[in-house]
Amino acid sequence: MTDEQLKEIEDKISKVWNSSPYKDIAVEATTIGQTAVSINVSQMYKYVPLGLKELLGVARAIDTDRFEVDQWSSDGCETCDYGSNYSVQFRYELDNVGHWDIQLNEAPVQNGML
């Protein structure tokens, strides 16, 4: 996978968290050997939100619903929390790109619910 392709993935993933409270989210995509990709989404001070909306956004961005997710955090300063970091990591095999086990049709929203 080229650096340009990794940058494209980072840009797509960044758009999943583009709402204003999450402007400080950093995204970094790297290859794992020659067969997989790791995407790290992180920010200081707050957890990276990870709900159905974000999971579906990631699936669309990387074109597969076959990926693994890990979350972790590290503490910052005891008094001011400076240096704290909250991360979500997505990993997927390049062989799975384009493979879907679920249908992602746009469902109509009625009364604010799917």
Q: Where are the domains of the chain?
A: 3-96
Compute the distance between CA of residue 101 and CA of residue 32 in angstroms, rounded to an integer. 24
Burial class, 103, CB count within 10 angstroms (exposed 0-12 / middle 13-18 / buried 19+): exposed
- pLDDT score of 70: 96
Q: Which residue type sits at 89?
A: Q
User: Band of the pLDDT at 104, cuts 50, 70, 90?
Assistant: low
- pLDDT score of 22: 61
Q: Which residue type sits at 64?
A: T
Compute the distance between CA of residue 80 and CA of residue 22 in angstroms, rounded to an integer. 20
Task: Say yes or no to pLDDT of 2 above 80.
Answer: yes
Contact 59, 96 (CB under 8 A): no
Task: Say yes or no to pLDDT of 97 above 70.
Answer: yes
- Report the DSSP beta bridge partners of residue 86: 43, 73
pLDDT, tens only, 45-62: 888 999 999 999 999 999
Task: Say yes or no to pLDDT of 78 above 80.
Answer: yes
Sorted by sequence, the CB contacts under 8 Å of residue 6 that are 6+ apart come out as 29, 30, 31, 37
Tell me the average pLDDT across 105-113: 53
pLDDT, tens only, 11-51: 999 999 886 566 689 999 999 998 999 999 999 888 899 99
Rounded to whole angstroms, what are the CA distances from 48 to 3, 19, 25, 51?
Answer: 25, 12, 8, 10
- Provide the mean pLDDT of the chain: 86
CA 62 to chain CA centroid, nearest Å: 10
